[in-house]
Amino acid sequence: MTADRVRTLFNRIAPVYDQLNTSLSLGQHRVWKQMAVKWSGAATGDHCLDVCCGSGDLALLLADCVGLQGHVIGIDFAAAQLAIAQQRAQARYPQPSITWQEGDALALPFPANHFDAATMGYGLRNVTDIPRSLRELQRVLKPGAKAAILDFHRPSNAMIRTLQQWYLEAIVVPAAQQFDLTDEYAYIAPSLDRFPTGSEQVMLARQAGFAAATHYPIAGGTMGVLVVMKG
């Protein structure tokens, strides 16, 4: 799938993206995102980056960590997703210290060695060049800084893999049908088939220049968090 088609897909699903995530994961996606933010090491006063921020879930959680003394930049190339993120942030008091920026994860508009921590939630599987995205993430982190990359993947356990595929086919795609988004949500399954396993992600992270990389399976192995650190 080309970058333009990915952008179009996420612009199209933006109005119902959050509500479907919540209903389809029974609210668990918030827990998985909180885990990723915790593992990023973001702390009070930090300057953090949320890559492929979408409607802003992880950026808003990062902002809670860094407080008003810190700052978070959420970057995404789907304007409709960023508009939702902006609305959600503006509904908060006090206004979180976040900048929403339209941009490409494959060419981050930031200097090298700039961020204290970063997150990427369900974004790495959707970029068109995973090694380049990892190299960009490594470039913009400060030495010693970490990033937590949360995403789905195919579990190694055959029974859980079958259950995951059943859930996607029998629950997720039919649920999207009510919003005429069947094709958009049917994209998830083949995207999982193409996505590297946990150990492959670790190898890709090391090849991208990260000094350390560990993959933590969560949600019964249907997802995972790749925690990387810049040397």
Ligand X SMILES: C[S@@+](CC[C@H](N)C(=O)[O-])C[C@H]1O[C@@H](n2cnc3c(N)ncnc32)[C@H](O)[C@@H]1O
Ligand Y SMILES: C/C(=C\Cc1cc(O)c2ccccc2c1O)CCC[C@H](C)CCC[C@H](C)CCCC(C)C
For position 10 contacting ligand X by CB under 6 A, the verdict is yes
For position 187 contacting ligand Y by CB under 6 A, the verdict is yes
The amino acid at residue 2 is T
Nearer to ligand Y, 81 or 138 (CB): 81
Q: Binding ligand Y by CB under 6 A: which of 41, 80, 222, 230?
A: 222
Q: Binding ligand X by CB under 6 A: which of 49, 66, 89, 105?
A: 105
Backbone torsions φ then ψ of 177, nearest 5 degrees: -60, -30
Which partner, ligand X, ligand Y, none, binds residue 184 by CB below 5 to 8 Å per kind? Answer: ligand Y
User: Which residues fall within 8 angstroms of residue 112, CB to CB, at 6 or more apart?
Assistant: 139, 140
Query: What count of Cα atoms within 13 Å lies in the side-chain half-sphere of residue 227?
Result: 15
- Residue listed under structure tokens 């973001």: 42
Q: Which of 119, 130, 145 shows the shortest CA–CA distance to 50?
A: 119
The amino acid at residue 144 is G
For position 176 contacting ligand X by CB under 6 A, the verdict is no
Which partner, ligand Y, ligand X, none, binds residue 187 by CB below 5 to 8 Å per kind? Answer: ligand Y
Nearer to ligand Y, 104 or 184 (CB): 184
Query: What count of Cα atoms within 13 Å lies in the side-chain half-sphere of residue 188?
Result: 24
Residue 123 CB, shortest distance to ligand Y, in Å, is: 8
For position 163 contacting ligand Y by CB under 6 A, the verdict is yes
Q: How many residues belong to the chain?
A: 231
For position 57 contacting ligand X by CB under 6 A, the verdict is yes
Residue 221 CB, shortest distance to ligand Y, in Å, is: 9
Q: Binding ligand X by CB under 6 A: which of 83, 106, 218, 219?
A: 106
Identify residues 108-167 at the interface with ligand X (CB under 6 A). Answer: 121-123, 126-127
Q: Binding ligand X by CB under 6 A: which of 42, 49, 58, 208?
A: 58
Cis bond leading into 94, ω under 30°? Answer: yes
Q: Which of 40, 202, 225 shows the shortest CA–CA distance to 134?
A: 202
The tokens for 228 are 């990387």
Are 14 and 80 in contact by the 8 Å Cβ rule? The answer is: yes
Backbone torsions φ then ψ of 10, nearest 5 degrees: -75, -25
Interface with ligand X by CB under 6 A: which residues? Answer: 3, 6-7, 10, 52-55, 57-58, 76-78, 81, 104-106, 121-123, 126-127
Interface with ligand Y by CB under 6 A: which residues? Answer: 13, 17, 21, 24-25, 29, 122, 125-126, 160, 163-164, 167-168, 172, 184-185, 187-188, 191, 219-220, 222
